[in-house]
Amino acid sequence: MFRLVSPAAAIAAAVLCMAPVAARAAEAADAPPAAVQAKVDAFMTSLKAGKVSEAYTQAFAGTLMSKKQAELEQAVAGTENGLRYYGALRDWQLVGTSRPADGFVVAVYMARLESAPLFMRFQAYDNGAKWIVYNIIFSDNYDTMKGW
């Protein structure tokens, strides 16, 4: 025996079936531009290999930050201390992306270390020719990353 379904029930069923598709689309929309993601992946891969100085050198190549030797050394030392304290980097995951203005992206990642996570915020700018990561901030306290 067949039962006719009301149009409202049919629409509700269709919406429920589409929810996973919409969720996947929202995840993809949340991702930073591919060029920024590639820079983040290269940075994290270098950290995972224990090449902290190389990670920062590559991330900031060709930027104003590459000329700020004292700040780079401080970032490297702070990151090395964090890795010694929390253990080796296992993997990383995007927490969220914000686009406060055209050509400006802020992406926060959770770096999974042996004993605790570190949260890393990458700020990137599209200068019209390419995406430039110009600021990286990290903390073991997620609350410091809010407002991204």
- Condensed to tens digits (0 to 9), the pLDDT of residues 6-17 reads 444 444 444 444
How much is the pLDDT for 119? 94
Q: Read off the pLDDT of residues 92-148 as tens digits, 9 standing for 90 and up.
A: 999 999 999 999 999 999 999 999 999 999 999 999 999 999 999 999 888 887 665
**pLDDT averaged over every residue in the chain:** 83
The answer on pLDDT for 51 being more than 90 is yes
The pTM is what? 0.77
More confident residue, 49 or 22: 49
Q: Residue 82 is which amino acid?
A: G
How much is the pLDDT for 30? 85
The sheet that has 89-101: what strands, in order across it?
89-101, 104-113, 117-126, 131-139
Domain topology for 33-145: Nuclear Transport Factor 2; Chain: A, (3.10.450)
